[in-house]
């Protein structure tokens, strides 16, 4: 009779453990599904945002009329590097990389270090033109450009 009691307790405990494992598996499956959904949705967002970026890729002749003479004209080069937007400004044959680039809804914000001076760009793009401002320690200047 004692053995029957031990076997009954064993099976009751086994059922409890089985129930907890089942609940744990459901929880893991649910969390995995949520994670997978986030990954899939974010990949659509990344693809969608890069599709918008595609139209600004290329070379843009620009002018900043009120800038010091050597910085008044140049070429803005926007490209895809390792799947990300990258850019540089070619001023007098010298390329300076742009950093912290964020492109949303036809607007590009970026930062560039020009001989120790931090320059902030806020540019709006249409199909063939760009227009915006360049800010640095001495003030804010207008910038315009056309796609090559």
**How far is it, in rounded angstroms, from Cα 82 to Cα 85?**
8
The predicted model gives 123-145 an average pLDDT of 94
Q: 30 pLDDT band (50/70/90 cuts)?
A: confident
Give pLDDT, residue 131: 97
Segment among 6-10, 38-42, 117-121 with least mean pLDDT:
38-42
Give pLDDT, residue 45: 45
In this structure, is the dihedral angle defined by the CA atoms of residues 64, 83, 104 and 137, taken in order, positive or negative? negative
Beta strands in the chain (DSSP E): 58-63, 73-81, 84-91, 94-104, 107-114, 117-125, 129-136, 139-147
Give pLDDT, residue 37: 72
Give pLDDT, residue 128: 93
Residue 121 and residue 136 in contact, taking contact as beta carbons nearer than 8 Å = no
pTM of the model: 0.65
Give pLDDT, residue 51: 55
Q: What is the pLDDT of residues 36-91, one digit of tens each?
A: 777 766 555 444 445 577 889 999 999 999 998 888 999 999 998 887 889 999 98
Q: Please indicate whether residue 31 or residue 118 has the higher confidence score (pLDDT).
A: 118
Give pLDDT, residue 55: 86
Give pLDDT, residue 72: 92
Residue 147 and residue 60 in contact, taking contact as beta carbons nearer than 8 Å = yes
Q: Which residues of 51-81 are buried (b: 16+ CB within 10 A; e: fewer)?
A: eebeebbeebebebeebeeebeebbbbbeee
Q: Please indicate whether residue 7 or residue 148 has the higher confidence score (pLDDT).
A: 148
Taking all residues of the chain, what is their mean pLDDT, rounded to a whole number?
85
């Amino acid at each position: 009779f004692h053995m029957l009691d031990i076997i009954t307790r064993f099976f009751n405990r086994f059922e409890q453990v089985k129930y907890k494992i089942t609940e744990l598996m459901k929880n893991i499956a649910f969390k995995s599904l949520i994670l997978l959904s986030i990954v899939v949705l974010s990949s659509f967002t990344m693809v969608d945002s890069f599709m918008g970026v595609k139209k600004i890729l290329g070379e843009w002749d620009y002018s900043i009329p009120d800038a010091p003479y050597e910085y008044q004209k140049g070429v803005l080069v926007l490209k895809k590097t390792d799947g990300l937007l990258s850019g540089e400004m070619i001023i007098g044959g010298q390329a300076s990389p742009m950093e912290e680039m964020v492109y949303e809804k036809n607007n590009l914000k970026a930062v560039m270090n020009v001989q120790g001076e931090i320059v902030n760009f806020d540019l709006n793009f249409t199909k063939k033109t760009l227009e915006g401002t360049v800010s640095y320690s001495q003030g804010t200047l207008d910038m315009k450009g056309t796609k090559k």
